[in-house]
């Protein structure tokens, strides 16, 4: 079966009260449109088609990694008109699935079931039963045959009896391109909003004695649409609860799961313990036997086996090796690679640096644009002075170096293997192997010193 997916994303989203296009608001760290694209891609369609309005065409730049056919709905004249902009570009004998960019939790497994349900039907409609159906189109079933949809009535057009119906239209429709084109060609805008409703194809199809069948889904949460910030928050909470449940079922220990947030693609190994108020953002991979302590943020990073991220630490766009200890109050900035058994202690900041195994920097230190060897001890208050006001420069510290507290290394500089730097030194020149560097002014004592007031 050649399947074409149409994703409607042309709505203005006025109820979001934001200059950001509605479909670019995020759930779980990804835009709503990206969530739907990911689900659509899993269906392996012939094409994915996204309909935009002219005001938000700039968002195309954010989706260059996806193979998308973009279409523009010049005027917002309704959902039928939006679909109509795509259909001429599709082959008439192929199938088409209509999705919505503001339904970010849509599940590809549910869509597979829907597509394969009652293959002899002409039009399929995915429906859901809601306790509070306000705002949704209601499903009117044929009295003589419950498995046939007679029509879908929009909220604004429904009478008081129809508004009590709890089975609602999700807007997700499956049909053949040719059939859908013919049905849409007969849709008019004779309604209170003067819009061309896609839902009108149901009553038109019934008049033509075509078979319109509903699939009532029990997965209510995955079909919720987002039209305002309240619904956005509700959807976010559902997403987070789903992620928490998934990891708990996999054996991850969470001391307070409701305070842990997942904002991207996260993998977690076995025997991992996560304390309260932790955020995982972007592409994160956590190895086995890792401990992530309270109030930490890990973004786009790898934390390898048996490592511990202590409280109030931030790790961003970096790789932490096995058996490392990070924090508390440490900041690992982007482009850092720490090998095994590295210790980065309290109030230590590391940026764009490679640190080899068994090296320690335990207190009040800044290491930037550095390559640091094995078995290096970095004392408290050490700074690599990498920026001269114009350019960034490299600091290279080789194996088995001892750097005394409150020392400054003025880059570019190479500290050779086995060097010892005396505390309080300012190092400006390269050194020979196994040397002692002392670069501080000589202490002077003035006896019987009196202050002049």
User: What are the tens digits of pLDDT across the range 139-191?
Assistant: 998 754 567 888 899 888 899 999 999 999 999 999 999 999 999 999 999 98
The Cα–Cα gap between 350 and 338 comes to 10
**CB 107 within 8 Å of CB 219:** yes
pLDDT for residue 143: 59
Q: Are 314 and 332 in contact (CB under 8 A)?
A: yes
Q: What token pair was written down for 112?
A: 């597979």
Q: What is the pTM of this model?
A: 0.91
* Ramachandran angles phi, psi of 36, nearest 5°: -70, -40
- CB contact set of 172 (below 8 Å; sequence gap of 6+): 97, 98, 99, 100, 103, 106, 111, 114, 125, 126, 223
Q: What is the DSSP string of 150-177?
A: EEEE-GGG--TTGGG--EEEEEEEEEEH
**DSSP, res 442:** P
Burial 433-453 (b: 16+ CB within 10 A, else e): eeeebeeeeeeeeeeeeeeee
Catalytic residue chosen out of the listed positions 17, 25, 35, 363: 363
Concerning whether 363 is annotated as a catalytic residue, the answer is yes
- C-alpha 331/C-alpha 344 separation (Å) is 9
As a whole number of angstroms, the distance between CA 6 and CA 3 comes to 10
What pLDDT, on a 0 to 100 scale, did the predictor assign at position 145? 54
CA 9-51-106 angle, 5° bins: 45
CA dist., res. 296 & res. 195, Å (int)? 49
Burial pattern 97-127, b for ≥16 Cβ within 10 A else e, equals: bbbbbbbbbbeeebbeebbeeeeebbbbbbb
The secondary structure of the chain in percent helix, strand, coil, rounded to multiples of 5, reads: 20, 30, 45
H helix or E strand, kind and range, residue 38? helix 32-41
Bridge partners of residue 331, in order along the sequence: 314, 349
Phi, psi of 330 (to 5 degrees): -105, 155
Mean pLDDT by 10 residues, the chain (453 residues): 95 91 96 98 98 94 96 94 97 97 96 94 93 88 72 89 92 97 95 90 93 91 93 97 97 98 97 98 98 98 98 98 98 98 98 98 98 98 96 97 98 98 97 95 86 72
Walk me through the domains of the chain, giving residue ranges and CATH numbers: 3-223 (3.90.550.10), 229-437 (2.160.10.10)
CB atoms within 10 A of CB 36: 25
Other beta carbons within 10 angstroms of residue 370's beta carbon come to 23
Greatest pairwise CA separation for the chain in angstroms: 111
Phi first, then psi, for residue 430 (nearest 5°) are -65, 155
pLDDT of the residue at 144: 45
């Amino acid at each position: 079966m050649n399947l074409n997916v149409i994703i409607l994303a042309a709505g203005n989203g006025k109820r979001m009260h934001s200059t950001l296009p509605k479909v670019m608001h995020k759930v779980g760290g990804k835009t709503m449109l990206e969530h739907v694209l990911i689900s659509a891609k899993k269906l392996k369609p012939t094409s994915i088609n996204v309909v935009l309005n002219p005001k938000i065409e700039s968002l195309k730049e954010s989706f260059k990694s996806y193979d998308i056919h973009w279409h523009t709905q010049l005027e917002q004249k309704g959902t039928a008109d939006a679909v109509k902009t795509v259909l001429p570009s599709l082959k008439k004998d192929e199938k088409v699935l209509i999705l919505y960019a503001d339904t970010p939790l849509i599940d590809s497994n549910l869509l597979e079931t829907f597509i394969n349900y009652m293959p002899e039907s002409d039009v399929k409609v995915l429906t859901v039963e809601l306790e509070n159906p306000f705002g949704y189109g209601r499903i009117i079933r044929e009295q003589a045959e419950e498995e046939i949809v007679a029509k879908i009535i929009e909220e604004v057009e429904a009478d008081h009896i129809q508004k009590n119906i709890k089975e609602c239209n999700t807007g997700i429709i499956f049909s053949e391109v040719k059939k859908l084109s013919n049905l849409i060609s007969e849709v008019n805008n004779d309604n209170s909003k003067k819009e061309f409703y896609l839902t009108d194809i149901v009553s038109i199809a019934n008049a033509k004695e075509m078979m319109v069948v509903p699939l009532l889904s029990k997965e209510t949460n995955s079909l919720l649409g987002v039209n305002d910030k309240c619904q956005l928050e509700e959807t976010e909470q559902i997403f987070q609860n789903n992620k928490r449940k998934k990891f708990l079922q996999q054996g991850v220990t969470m001391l307070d799961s409701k305070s842990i947030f997942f904002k991207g693609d996260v993998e977690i190994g076995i025997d991992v313990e996560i304390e309260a108020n932790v955020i995982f953002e972007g592409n994160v991979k956590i190895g086995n036997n890792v401990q992530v302590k309270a109030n930490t943020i890990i973004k786009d990073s790898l934390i390898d086996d048996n490592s511990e991220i202590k409280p109030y630490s931030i790790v961003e766009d970096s790789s932490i090796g096995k058996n490392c200890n990070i924090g508390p109050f440490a900041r690992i900035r982007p482009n850092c690679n720490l090998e095994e058994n590295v210790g980065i202690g309290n109030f230590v900041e590391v940026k764009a640096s490679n640190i080899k195994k068994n090296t320690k920097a335990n207190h009040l230190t800044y290491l930037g644009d550095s390559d640091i060897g094995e078995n290096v001890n970095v004392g408290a208050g050490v700074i690599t002075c990498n920026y001269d006001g114009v350019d960034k420069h490299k600091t290279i510290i080789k194996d088995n170096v001892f750097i005394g507290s409150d020392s400054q290394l003025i880059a570019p500089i190479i500290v050779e293997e086995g060097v010892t730097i005396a505390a309080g030194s300012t190092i400006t020149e390269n050194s020979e192997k196994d040397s002692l560097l002392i670069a501080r002014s000589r202490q002077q004592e003035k006896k019987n010193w009196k202050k002049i007031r």
